[in-house]
A = this chain, B = another copy of it.
């Protein structure tokens, strides 16, 4: 019998989502367990097992599944360990792939969530026929997965692809979590858009803006989007600036690996052309002629709600150990 299904598990800071996925990206079963309530990882795995194992039985048991794919912060493909993940309760180096294999009796492939998103895009999304691309996740932070010649770039230690932390404005905005200044993430994330809004409103106190109807606490990338769509000048400038920073960064990435496509994913992409147009413009303007008008700038084709499980499940099919 050909094994038809893969298990996908996405471990986030508060919740782990998991599901059973077929080769076409259809999620047959899914559920979730908390990931911030277990002091030791074994207890988390026990809870996961209690919900997940019956699902696996339902689709024909282990004999019908190729394995488990897992996306987790600081997940290392080579070692199968989660290493010093700041947002998880389990500290130090957690050999989660080994623990999963013992508990479930199935091969388990681990990587970080951003790499899993890229592999999911390659298996089920808009890069099925593309062998060189970069996925940029624009959410609370900025994640990235780099694919070269059909393979995710892991680097010598498994930690490659931290493009959100590359510096695009030396001595620029402080990124509080890392203490670094001027990283892509400090501008081109939902958090960054909010900060840009506060900066621009403060810098131009004389300029009217719909954004002034929001309290500082209410200001989010969504409120900036709403105001921009109503024609608000400052709100539009905020997306222009965000696209400028993102476009300049993408140009640098293109001159590194010359991808056929860059896939944007995550909450900030809801801004659509408000973000895409300035991004593309500044990307092209910062490329050598030999790279211009070649790179497809795409939005992900995966539904955000499903993407994490899909990406994790795709690891099983796409990642060779």
Q: Which residues of A contact B (CB under 8 A)?
A: 74, 83-84, 130-132, 146, 148-149, 151, 153-163, 165-170, 178, 180, 248, 251-253, 255-260, 286, 288, 290-291, 294
Contacts and interface: CB of A to CB of B under 8 A. Distances in A.
14 contacts: A74-B290, A83-B290, A130-B156, A132-B155, A153-B258, A155-B259, A159-B291, A162-B256, A162-B290, A163-B255, A165-B255, A166-B255, A180-B288, A253-B256
A84 B289 CA distance: 11
Given A84-B290, A159-B290, A153 B257 contact: yes
Nearest to A132: B156
Contact of A286 (B153, B160, B167): B167
B248 A170 contact: yes
Given A157-B260, A166-B251, 17 more contacts: A74-B290, A148-B148, A148-B155, A149-B151, A155-B257, A156-B258, A157-B294, A160-B258, A161-B258, A162-B256, A162-B288, A163-B256, A165-B255, A167-B286, A180-B286, A252-B252, A256-B256
Most chain B CB neighbours (cut-off 10 Å) among A146, A154, A156, A288: A156
Given A157-B258, A161-B256, A253-B256, A248 B167 contact: yes
Contacts of A169: 170
Contacts of A149: 151
Contacts of A156: 130-132, 258-260
The 9 closest A-B pairs by CB, nearest first: A155-B258, A160-B258, A156-B260, A132-B156, A166-B252, A162-B255, A160-B257, A159-B258, A166-B255
A230 B131 CA distance: 52
Nearest to A146: B256
Nearest to A158: B258
Contacts of A178: 288
Which among A74, A130, A159 has the greatest number of chain B C-beta atoms within 10 A? A159
Nearest to A155: B258
Contacts of A260: 156-157
A48 B28 CA distance: 65
Contacts of A256: 146, 153, 160-163, 166, 253, 256-257
